[in-house]
Amino acid sequence: MSKISYIDNFTDWAESFKYHKDIEVRFSETDMFGHLNNTVAFVYFEQARVSFFGELGFMSDWLKKNSETIIVTADLQCDFMQQIYFGDTLEVYVKVAHFGNTSADLHYMAKTTDGRVCLTGRGRIVHISKKLGKPSPWTDEMINRLEEYSG
């Protein structure tokens, strides 16, 4: 396996994830070659990310009409390690790799149920004010929750 720029030690990195979402590959997500379309990995990352932030207790506030803040994705990348096929069940992991005053770097890993790592990824989200459209600091409560899932 070639070195991935955002991973120092792959084994340690992979073992540090605490949260995952199971996702089954649907037929409509495959391409004419029979494997997962390359755009779908980002949908899986989003699904795991939304579920992760729900687990942290953030989504219910962000989804309220009168919520003052939301998160936006600033960048996102995916590295494809193995082919994925219709019917595969993936464990899509997400963790906080680093967070600052208003943003967080998230890392992703998808494994098949037999343990094959098929996707890795990273991305930055920014916590912003809905009214101003500018970065907004994490609250102390959010920082405490983010620290629980940092790795």
**Is 80 exceeded by the pLDDT of residue 1?**
no
Neighbours of 121 (CB within 10 A): 23
pTM of the model: 0.94
Widest Cα–Cα separation across the chain = 48
β-strand 89-99 against 19-24: which pairing, if any?
antiparallel
In order, the DSSP letters of 55-94 are HHT-HHHHTSTT-SEEEEEEEEEEEE-S--BTT-EEEEEE
Question: The domain 10-146 is classified under which CATH number: 3.40.50.150, 3.10.129.10, 3.40.50.300, 3.60.40.10?
Answer: 3.10.129.10
Q: Where are the domains of the chain?
A: 10-146
Tell me: the pLDDT tens digits for 81-136?
Answer: 999 999 999 999 999 999 999 999 999 999 999 999 999 999 999 999 999 999 99
For residue 28, pLDDT beyond 80: yes
pLDDT: which is higher, 3 or 69? 69
Residue 139 pLDDT > 80: yes
More confident of the two residues 21 and 63:
21
Q: In what order do the strands lie in the sheet with 69-80?
A: 19-24, 89-99, 103-112, 117-129, 69-80
Residues 6+ apart with CB under 8 A from 25: 36, 84, 85, 86, 87, 88, 89, 90
Give CA–CA dist 127/136, Å, rounded.
6
Instruction: Give yes or no for a contact between 150 and 99, defined as CB atoms under 8 angstroms apart.
Output: yes
How does pLDDT run across 36-83, given as a tens digit for each residue?
A: 999 999 999 999 999 999 999 998 888 888 889 999 999 999 999 999
Q: Mean of the pLDDT values across residues 27-40? A: 95
pLDDT above 90: residue 20: yes
CB neighbours of 71 closer than 8 A, spacing ≥ 6?
53, 58, 62, 125, 126, 127, 128
Residue 61: per-residue pLDDT: 86
